[in-house]
Structure 1
């Protein structure tokens, strides 16, 4: 696998490991409970990631089909376009200035989790979605990812290349896993 895609896959696996480590150490009664009524619970953070992966799946599948139809003419090194680079930076873990987290944004309503979020079912869905994302990364190897555009499921005005769409998944996961880890600290 091309080294940049291998890095994306490894980062997705690190996110999975991070989530399972958190789930294994968190008491069951804290999983779906909010420590602060204004902030998401651990379960809601994970459910948001599941909603995000669910929304990206058809977009990535269609973009991979488009790239495959172009043939195996990948660049020697994949690059995110400027919009994709910027969004990738914005969706990753939030920097801190003292005790303040900088860069918080509200998720669109369709990406805000609702309902009962039992631990086992939420983790199983995360793992299934993660397996699907990893399959997309493997399928992307050798394809012209920079030549195919993806429209963000968060904001239709944002379009970026397929490599950026794949590369931003793990940073977004790490952002919300950091948020989940901080729920009870």
Structure 2
């Protein structure tokens, strides 16, 4: 019987299997890297574009509201539009000064921007958890971040607008430093030190989450989206 169709076995087959496995692993690694690797400029441009969309929503839907619409919640224990904005103002008031200080210190050290953005494991997980809409999965905010009252003045809109300007300015400043190397302490858990890249993305995604929550409140009241 001819042995031409008999599979190669023994020592010669092992190196071939090893090469196939190694190639498969490299392919998986390269695919994962291509899915997650991003240029720093592209990443920051995306955050700035997200902020422009937030501002457009605030100007179009929230500024025309009456005081009653601003402060009317969808039900007991549910936040109104004003409370959503107040919550964002509190978080911004804690994070933004720290970020500004850290960027300034990096500038003084002569920090230079990295070509590619890097994320930390914990920071990325925190950000991803915020991508789930508040209308689908509510999260209990720490007491330090809770809105201060039920009847909020219209100045809550002006404070939020100023913080949008400040955050946008910090994103611009970040373009000149190595954001991967800067650590931002969590206001409640100082030992938690996400990268500046993660802190900025977390703030923007958190903002989008609660702006969408506020829009859902208005939708429930029958307020037009026009």
TM-score over 0.5 for the pair: yes
Shift of 1:66: 2.9
Q: 1:117 matched to which residue of 2?
A: 152
Q: Is the Cα contact below 8 Å between 1:15 and 1:170 reproduced in 2?
A: no
Q: 2:46 matched to which residue of 1?
A: 7
**Of the two, which has the highest radius of gyration?**
2
Q: 1:77 matched to which residue of 2?
A: 116
1:178 aligns with 2:217: no
2:108, 2:121 → 1: CA distance? Answer: 25
Moved more, 85-94 or 9-18: 85-94
Q: Over residues 73-128 of structure 1, what are the superposed CA-to-partner deviations in whole Å (9 max), with x where a residue is unaligned?
A: 22212122111111111223427xxxx713x2211111111234123x11111111
Shift of 1:55: 0.6
Q: 1:169 matched to which residue of 2?
A: 203
TM (norm. structure 2) is 0.72
Structure 1 segments unaligned to the other structure (5+ residues): none
Q: Is the Cα contact below 8 Å between 1:8 and 1:170 reproduced in 2?
A: yes
Q: 2:100 matched to which residue of 1?
A: 61
- Aligned pairs, number: 179
Q: 2:179 matched to which residue of 1?
A: 145
TM (norm. structure 1) is 0.87
Q: Alignment RMSD, CA only?
A: 2.0
Q: Over residues 29-79 of structure 1, what are the superposed CA-to-partner deviations in whole Å (9 max), with x where a residue is unaligned?
A: 221122201211110001111111111112101221232233242221212
Q: Is the Cα contact below 8 Å between 1:78 and 1:146 reproduced in 2?
A: yes
2:204, 2:132 → 1: CA distance? Answer: 10
1:152, 1:92 → 2: CA distance? Answer: 19
1:72, 1:149 → 2: CA distance? Answer: 13
1:167, 1:69 → 2: CA distance? Answer: 24
Q: Is the Cα contact below 8 Å between 1:147 and 1:161 reproduced in 2?
A: yes
Aligned pairs for 1:38-57 (under 5 A) are 38-57=77-96
Q: 1:136 matched to which residue of 2?
A: 170
From 59, 62, 65, the equivalent of 1:20 is: 59
Structure 2 segments unaligned to the other structure (5+ residues): 1-39, 221-226
Shift of 1:142: 2.6
1:79, 1:66 → 2: CA distance? Answer: 20
- Give the 3-state SS of the residue equivalent to 1:159 in structure 2: coil
